Amino acid sequence: MDFDLTDEQDLLRDVTREALTRAYDIETLLKVAATELGWSRDVWSQLAEIGILGLGFDPEEAGQIEMMVVLTELGRRLAPEPVAQAALIPGGVIAELGDDEQRGLLDAVSDGTTLLALAHQEPDMRGTATRVTTRAERHGDSWTVTGRKNPVLAGDCADVFVVSAALPDSSSQSDGVGLFLVTADSVQRRAFRTFDGQRAAQLDLDSAPARPLGSGGDATASLQRALIRHQSALCAEAVGAMEEALRLTTEYLTSRRQFGVPLSNFQALTQRAADMYVSLELARSMNFYAAMSIADGNLDPVIAARAKLQISRSGRHIAQEAIQLHGGIGVTAEYPVGHYAARLTAINQTLGSADDQLRTLIGALGSYTTVTL
Amino acid sequence: MDRRFTVKLAFSDGEAAFRDEMRDFFTTQIPADIRRRARDGELRYPDDVVTAQRIMNERGVAVPNWPTEWGGKDWSPLQRQIWSDEMRLACVPEPLAFNASMVGPVIARFGSQSLKERFLPPTANLDIWWCQGFSEPEAGSDLASIRTTAVRDGDSYVVNGQKTWTTLGQYADWIFLLARTDPNAPKRQAGISFLLAEMSTPGITLRPIKLIDGGYEVNEVFFEDVRIPAEQLVGEENSGWTYAKFLLSNERTGIARIGTTKVWLAQVKQRAASTPTGRGSLLDDPLFAARVAETENEILALELTQLRVSRSETDGKPNPASSILKLKGSQLQQAVTELSVDVAGPDSLPVGAGDDVGSPTWAQLAGPKYLNYRKTSIYGGTNEVQRNIIAATILGL
């Protein structure tokens, strides 16, 4: 049992943190968020240069712990670049399932020139469900997919989509789901902003030409693994956001003066900051747990649900208290803490809320005596 | 597994072997009836505690946190954590905290050679049952405001004053206490000394304090012109506050009591699964199951946090992270006793009614236990004090 990062992982964290600190302060963030793309191509290129956009594509190379390290830094700076959504998660699926030609796409992904998106979420779908209503149809050697995907994170800018679709031979009771590559020019997309300032899109696929990933067939297990990896990435990002939200709050409590004294003189406030810290530590632990399990080859939806449940609880607690302990400045757009709260809230609603995680967990409650690692 | 990852969740072979060794020892060498009584809240004091500690001491695992020359083990923090977890999962009564975690380490660290030789072996073996004389009626969270005095008179200190919340003092042979030896010290912390007294010394009287669960576990202790031999001063006169701080920050491997909370939650699940609601069992009820799942998840999160914290433990230096373990650990113990009384429902109302009424014994104990465990967020530094420590030392507030 060991919770220490390697020197290489430490270095990756430091380099990422330095690049993002240089790239973003709150003014720059707001400026970039107001552009149509919502993030910066320059920063994207820098991330590509560091080697971040191809993490985990090579099965021989490191993956989930590095992804955790990087996503925590993105969360800390509130960087809007869709590293997980547009590169690592859909790229990981292509790396796992794709044939040689399809895996050839990944070079352009890791050098930052091609953007991907996983188009899986559908209306009326919650949590990390894998069943979809989008249909795949076979026409001789070629395939098409038909259906609606919404919301597709980073779907506004993706060049290529990894689309989940029910296979034609799967009965309505079965989960037979295939994964297909669909290019952006064959979908109808409606791009929009999300409440945390990020971007997404709705895709309408109407007999869109689709290429099955690899040899095709049921890809439910791969899809589930991708969702679990994404869940872990979100947890890591949330931990970075929580750390910074708490840092901003403690800084504010020591610098802001009311009644002639710093706010930190009031135990009504410092006691609550202490509780935020406890929430943060529990979230850090579960974030480690999720990423370490995946790194050990254990991609377990129950572990993902456990981690996300704690991250949701801690994220909501820290976000709400960070705003409240700041007072009015906490709800202004010009000050960062409210934006952290927005991002943490959006993360809670991505791949399942706390209640969705609880639904996963209560199903198995009676099947074991005590919870173990 | 990638060899380049050092972040590892699984136990190494050595760690797993150690866990198996501890598990085997606790589940085969500590009598099953003692472990059953501990699990069901029916432990017999003081006999069960003494028996268990002596078996552990014979095996050399009663006081692993002590220096090796006095019976301690050169274990890693993780090994100590495993030892504590396995002991709790096996429902073994832990070595008496006043001996093993409190006065033992203080004497070993600050006591003279003769004090060590005189007290450490019987303290490890629970031949001496110690109790704690720290809190006073006017000194709770504000411990430095103690008023009990010790005045040097020849070869003795003459002690006058009152201690309170003295847990299990009714079984104690000896008491370790803080007393004011210099009332004129520039800082009130500077005039305090750490003394050892035999409970049978003339002038010491004990008065029980009955608690809301109807039970008796804490006491008031009165000192009236009690003569304590000067050789029973630990360390130096007026340095007692330093030793007290060391004592209070010394032990944190067991402070969260995670293994015990897990065992209790397993009991809650088992009982809920056999409690009908009209639509399946209580454990099938999403409302109740969600509370169980939520609590269980926090236990796991705290267990991982404890593993992270214990790895960074350095001998003798208090780590403020232990405040998290105390704070959250006490909340989880309380959450589980709350779930337990909620499972019992109306069967929790009878108490001490015997086994010829329809309410099972565990249910009859659930209400008193729930009430009793309100103590955990108060003793050993209230949760508010823990939050202050976190705010001051970790957050810099």
B251 flagged as catalytic: yes
| B192 in the same domain as B232 | yes
Please write the tens of the pLDDT for every residue from B183-195.
Answer: 999 999 999 999 9
Same domain, A297 and A346: yes
Q: Say whether pLDDT at B4 is over 60.
A: no
- For position B142, what pLDDT does the model report? 92
Q: How many domains does chain B have?
A: 3
B181 and B265 in a single domain? The answer is no
Question: Could you tell me if B234 and B154 lie in one domain?
Answer: yes
Q: Is residue A226 domain-shared with residue A194, that is, in the same domain? A: no
**B258 & B374 share domain:** yes
Residue B103 lies in a domain: no
Residues A234 and A355 in one domain: yes
The structure's pTM equals 0.94
pLDDT score, position B317: 53
Give the pLDDT confidence score for residue B11 in this predicted structure.
85
Of the residues B86, B217, B220, B251, only one is catalytic, namely B251
CB-based contact A310 B301, cutoff 8 Å: yes
Domain endpoint, select from B208, B238, B268: B238
pLDDT of B383 above 50: yes
Domain boundary among A81, A108, A131: A81
In a domain, B222, yes or no: yes
Residues of B numbered 313-342 whose beta carbons fall under 8 angstroms of chain A's beta carbons: which are they? 321, 324, 327-328
Report the number of distinct structural domains present in chain A. 3
Which of B95, B115, B144 is the last residue in one of the domains?
A: B95
Residues 53-72, chain B, touching A (beta carbon < 8 A) = none
Which pLDDT belongs to residue B3? 34
Contact of B301 with chain A, judged by CB distance below 8 Å, is answered with yes
3-state secondary structure chain A: CECCCCHHHHHHHHHHHHHHHHHCCHHHHHHHHHCCCCCCHHHHHHHHHHCHHHCCCCCCCCCHHHHHHHHHHHHHHCCCCCHHHHHHHHHHHHHHHCCHHHHCHHHHHHCCCCCEEEECCCCCCCCCCCCCCCEEEEECCEEEEEEEEEEEECCCCCCEEEEEEECCCCCCCCCCEEEEEEEHHHCEEEEEECCCCCEEEEEEEEEEEEEECCCCCCCHHHHHHHHHHHHHHHHHHHHHHHHHHHHHHHHHHHHCEECCEEHHHCHHHHHHHHHHHHHHHHHHHHHHHHHHHHHCCCCCHHHHHHHHHHHHHHHHHHHHHHHHHHHHHHHCCCCCHHHHHHHHHHHHCCCCCHHHHHHHHHCCHHHCCCCCC
Chain B neighbours among A 287-316 (CB < 8 Å)?
288-289, 291-293, 295-297, 306, 309-310
The answer to whether position B245 is within a domain reads: no
Contacts of B390 in chain A (CB under 8 A): 274, 277-278
- Summarised one tens digit per residue, pLDDT across range B242-257 is 999 888 876 666 789 9
Contacts A9 to B, Cβ<8 Å: 7
Residues A233 and A312 in one domain: yes
Q: Which domain holds residue B36?
A: 13-95
Which of B215, B238, B261 marks a domain boundary?
B238
Q: Is residue B80 part of a domain?
A: yes
CATH code, domain carrying A56? 1.10.540.10
**Best to test chain A binding among B2, B4, B7 (most A CBs inside 10 Å):** B7
For B86-144, write each residue's pLDDT tens digit: 999 999 999 999 999 999 999 999 999 999 999 999 999 999 999 999 999 999 989 99
**Confidence (pLDDT) at A171:** 55
pLDDT in the model for residue B2? 37
Question: B257 and B383: one domain?
Answer: yes
Which residues of chain A are within 8 Å of residue B265 when distances are taken between CB atoms?
370
Say whether both B262 and B225 belong to one domain. Answer: no
Q: Quick one: B262 and B378 in the same domain? A: yes
Enclosing domain of residue A352: 221-364
Tell whether B224 and B285 lie within a shared domain.
no
Residue in chain B nearest A254 by alpha carbon: B397
B3 falls within a domain:
no
- Written as tens digits, the pLDDT of chain A (373 aa) is 678 899 999 999 999 999 999 999 999 999 999 999 999 999 999 999 999 999 999 877 768 999 999 999 999 999 999 999 999 999 999 999 999 999 999 999 999 999 999 999 999 898 888 999 999 999 999 999 999 999 999 999 999 999 999 999 755 555 699 999 999 999 999 999 999 999 999 999 999 999 999 999 999 999 999 999 999 999 999 999 999 999 999 999 999 999 999 999 999 999 999 999 999 999 999 999 999 999 989 999 999 999 999 999 999 999 999 999 999 999 999 999 999 999 999 999 999 999 999 999 998 898 898 888 8
Query: Is A196 within the bounds of a domain?
Result: yes
Q: Is B287 on the interface with A (CB under 8 A)?
A: no
CA distance B302 to chain A (A): 6
A201, A218, A235 — which closes off a domain? A218
Of the partner residues B9, B265, B298, the one whose CB lies closest to the CB of residue A282: B298
